[in-house]
Amino acid sequence: MPSNYFFVFLLSLFFLNCNTQEEIKVVVPDTIISESEMALILADIHLAEAKTKFLKRQQGTQIKEADDLSFKENVFKNHHIEKKQFEESLNFYSQHPQLFELVYEKTITTLEEGKIKADTIKTQ
């Protein structure tokens, strides 16, 4: 009898695995920033945060939180979005991990391409 439980357990794991690997189609509302644009925005935000940390270390002083926020506000301005729209989009993608993973893959690619460009310029 215990082997039957084991078989049922394995069978249920198999079906769960099949269901989780199916691509789930999620309709992205019009109010949400597209995957590609979100990836560019996230890349710019990561660069702005890195710049803030660099300046803090270089100047040996604390950059005010307001300055840090102004870097992010500039990113929103450059992408013609409001902070609220970004936050709503970030929340949406956070609730849909498969989509968020795609967004971050694009973000990483964007950052890597920027590094390659910077390295190329540096060596010229």
Any long-range contacts for 23-30 (C-beta under 8 Å, 24+ apart)? 23/98, 24/98, 26/96, 26/98, 26/99, 28/92, 28/99, 29/92
Residues 6+ away with beta carbon under 8 Å from 39: 103, 104, 106, 107, 109, 110
Q: For residue 87, count other CB atoms closer than 10 A to its CB.
A: 10
Tokens 């019009």 -> residue: 30
User: What was the pLDDT predicted at 25?
Assistant: 81
What is the average per-residue pLDDT within 77-105? 95
Tokens 């249920």 -> residue: 12
What is the average per-residue pLDDT within 49-76? 74
Q: Is pLDDT of 81 > 70?
A: yes
Q: Pick the more confident residue, 71 or 22.
A: 71
User: What was the pLDDT predicted at 48?
Assistant: 86
- Cα–Cα separations (whole angstroms), residue 39 to 6, 19, 20: 44, 27, 24
Residue 37: pLDDT band with limits 50, 70, 90: very high
Q: Is pLDDT of 91 > 80?
A: yes
Q: Is pLDDT of 62 > 80?
A: no
3-state secondary structure of 31: coil
